[in-house]
């Protein structure tokens, strides 16, 4: 089917029964009309719709034959709408630098779906679905009113103050989305607790997304995704990926705003009260410095301990040598007048060069050294006195 896109909006209702619907768009370019807005409104009563909107130039989006995996070749697509299974899908095309007049639009779905397709040629960048009248359009981005979320401000959510404890008091007041808005922070702790009296008869899934947009968490787009445990408590430690030392980047993000969106998913309505608590991590940098100091202190202590052990071993060896070898005095030379090894007579002025063993025998220190060397080269394990054969070491 070929569609001519002029200054007037084009719209048509379809009932698609096949998996693929391909449309050829012929866009009349104009300097005043820079943008093309393609919107698809699902008319079926189904709560969620599995549908994907694709666009490309020159040729229609199709599967790549050369790829081992099933990959579709396209240039623009509403992947977020597909992930969220929304009933509203859109693509915005900037035609300023495009020379192609012909374009192709493909709608993929695996179920019979009725929808309305609206195509407009516009001079300024539009916002999706006019922000569903729940927000203000600014440069093509929806700034949602308090209590509304998503790129088109179509979802309701409970806005809670940042970094303050929140407790749900009314068990009948259930929220699918709970969110807060905060400026940049190095990090914080987040705990989500379900009421103790709640008996969960079905799996309850909690998805969390932290971003700078009003986007919602999904199976394909989330920061955290967990099933409620037995304790009915979830705890997270969220730390910025910007290094505190990088002052230039820090200054650029100081005034930036972030959204933390919590999504509660359950097959059956889970009647329970939630409590959400924040704790700021104010001294992450100091904590890292303290850990580095403790690690350095541990390494220094380990090195000193090793040196102490080595010094103690040396001291013990020296002490043992002192116990094994003593210096004789002049009275000892009265009983031993010559060295049993070299048979030379001892002189009184040689006391410093003599050694007295525990067995009381006296030798020249050099003679005993030669004796020890002889014992070692003879592969003997025990060193004995040359005179009485008593163990020396």
The pLDDT tens digits along the chain (393 residues) read: 777 777 678 999 999 998 889 998 887 777 778 899 999 999 988 777 889 999 998 888 887 766 666 778 899 999 999 988 899 999 999 888 777 677 899 999 988 999 999 999 888 999 999 999 999 999 899 999 999 999 999 999 999 988 888 888 777 777 889 999 888 777 888 888 887 666 666 678 889 988 888 788 888 888 888 888 677 888 888 877 655 545 555 566 666 788 899 998 876 666 677 788 887 765 555 656 777 888 899 999 999 999 999 988 877 766 655 556 778 888 888 888 889 888 888 888 888 888 888 888 888 888 888 887 766 555 555 678 888 888 776
The secondary element (H helix, E strand) that includes residue 148 is: strand 148-149
Q: What integer pLDDT is reported at residue 194 of this predicted model? A: 82
The answer to whether position 311 is within a domain reads no
CA–CA gap between residue 23 and residue 103 (Å, rounded): 8
Structure tokens at 45: 């009563």
- Which residue segment(s) compose the domain that 351 sits in? 325-393
> Of 222, 248, 282, which one is at a domain's C-terminal end?
282
- The domain spanning residue 253 has which CATH number? 2.60.120
CA–CA gap between residue 361 and residue 386 (Å, rounded): 9
Tell me the H-state helices in 196-343: 247-253, 284-324, 332-335
Structure tokens at 173: 């007041």
The answer to whether position 37 is within a domain reads yes
Q: What integer pLDDT is reported at residue 355 of this predicted model? A: 86
Q: What integer pLDDT is reported at residue 133 of this predicted model? A: 94
The secondary element (H helix, E strand) that includes residue 80 is: helix 79-84
> Of 103, 126, 149, which one is at a domain's C-terminal end?
126
Q: What integer pLDDT is reported at residue 188 of this predicted model? A: 84
Same domain (yes/no): 26, 112: yes
Contact between residue 56 and residue 35 where contact means Cβ atoms under 8 Å apart: no
Same domain (yes/no): 15, 117: yes
- The domain spanning residue 100 has which CATH number? 2.60.120.380
- What is the three-class DSSP state of 88? strand
The answer to whether position 223 is within a domain reads yes
Same domain (yes/no): 6, 93: yes
Same domain (yes/no): 21, 122: yes
Contact between residue 236 and residue 242 where contact means Cβ atoms under 8 Å apart: no
Same domain (yes/no): 263, 359: no
Q: What integer pLDDT is reported at residue 130 of this predicted model? A: 93
- List, in sequence order, every residue forming a beta bridge with 52; answer none if it has no partner: 108
The answer to whether position 288 is within a domain reads no
Same domain (yes/no): 277, 372: no
Same domain (yes/no): 167, 278: yes
Same domain (yes/no): 260, 343: no
> Of 222, 256, 282, which one is at a domain's C-terminal end?
282
Q: What angle do CA 47, 49, 52 make, to 5 degrees?
A: 155
Same domain (yes/no): 181, 250: yes
Q: What angle do CA 381, 387, 389 make, to 5 degrees?
A: 35
Tally of domains in the chain? 3
CA–CA gap between residue 61 and residue 103 (Å, rounded): 10
């Amino acid at each position: 089917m070929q569609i001519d896109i002029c200054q007037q909006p084009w719209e048509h209702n379809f009932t698609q029964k096949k998996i693929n619907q391909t449309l050829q768009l012929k866009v009349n370019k104009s300097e005043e009309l820079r943008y093309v807005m393609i919107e698809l409104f699902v008319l079926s009563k189904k709560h969620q719709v599995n549908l994907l909107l694709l666009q490309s130039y020159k040729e229609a989006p199709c599967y790549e034959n050369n790829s081992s995996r099933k990959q579709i070749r396209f240039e623009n697509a509403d992947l977020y709408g597909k992930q969220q299974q929304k009933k509203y899908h859109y693509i915005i095309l900037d035609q300023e630098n495009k020379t192609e007049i012909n374009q192709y639009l493909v709608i993929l779905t695996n179920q019979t779906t009725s929808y309305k397709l609206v195509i407009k040629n516009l001079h300024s960048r539009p916002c999706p679905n006019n922000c569903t009248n729940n927000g203000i359009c600014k440069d093509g981005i929806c700034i949602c009113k308090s209590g509304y979320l998503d790129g088109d401000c179509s979802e309701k959510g409970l806005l809670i103050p940042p970094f303050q404890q929140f407790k749900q008091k009314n068990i009948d007041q259930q929220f699918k989305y709970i969110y807060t808005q905060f400026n940049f922070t190095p990090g914080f702790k987040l705990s989500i607790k379900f009421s103790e009296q709640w008996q969960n008869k079905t799996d309850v899934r909690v998805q969390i997304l932290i971003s700078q947009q009003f986007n919602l968490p999904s199976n394909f787009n989330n920061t955290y995704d967990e099933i409620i445990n037995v304790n009915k408590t979830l705890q997270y430690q969220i730390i910025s990926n910007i290094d505190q030392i990088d002052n230039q980047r820090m200054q650029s993000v100081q005034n930036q705003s972030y959204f933390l969106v919590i999504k509660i998913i359950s097959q059956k309505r889970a009647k329970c009260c939630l409590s959400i608590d924040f704790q700021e991590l104010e001294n992450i940098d100091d904590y890292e410095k303290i850990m580095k100091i403790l690690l350095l202190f541990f390494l220094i202590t380990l090195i000193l301990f090793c040196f102490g052990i080595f010094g103690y071993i040396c001291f013990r060896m020296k002490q043992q040598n002192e116990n094994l070898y003593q210096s004789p005095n002049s009275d000892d030379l009265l009983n031993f007048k010559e060295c049993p090894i070299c048979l030379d007579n001892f002189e009184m002025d040689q006391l410093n060069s003599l050694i007295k063993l525990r067995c009381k025998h006296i030798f020249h220190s050099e003679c005993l050294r030669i004796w020890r060397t002889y014992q070692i080269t003879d592969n003997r394990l025990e060193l004995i006195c040359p005179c009485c054969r008593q163990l020396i070491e």
